Amino acid sequence: MDESLLKILNKFGLTDYEAKAYITLNSKIIAKGEYISLESGIPRSKIYTILSNLEKKNLLTITQVDL
């Protein structure tokens, strides 16, 4: 993962985990929490809290889709 991009996102107030999730999501339009966790290295036990935090910051929208 691009450390310089992480630092830029940190300057905008994102934690390391939030920045990693955000970067991972930018490569996909739709992604499950499990995928984001695996691709970003964020523990699965934390990913949904991180995604919720990003939604509160208006950086993403969480939608449940029945597949």
> What pLDDT does 67 receive?
63
> What pLDDT does 64 receive?
84
Q: How far is the C-alpha of 47 from the C-alpha of 15, rounded, in Å?
A: 13
What's the half-sphere exposure (Cβ side, CA atoms, 13 Å) at 13? 6
The secondary structure of residue 30, as a DSSP letter, is S
> What pLDDT does 35 receive?
93
Confidence (pTM): 0.84
Distances (CA, A) of 12 to 16, 17, 26: 11, 13, 16
Which residues in 1-67 belong to E strands, given as ranges? Answer: none
- Give the residues of the chain that fall short of pLDDT 50: none
> What pLDDT does 2 receive?
86
The end-to-end CA distance of the chain, in Å, is 30
> What pLDDT does 28 receive?
83
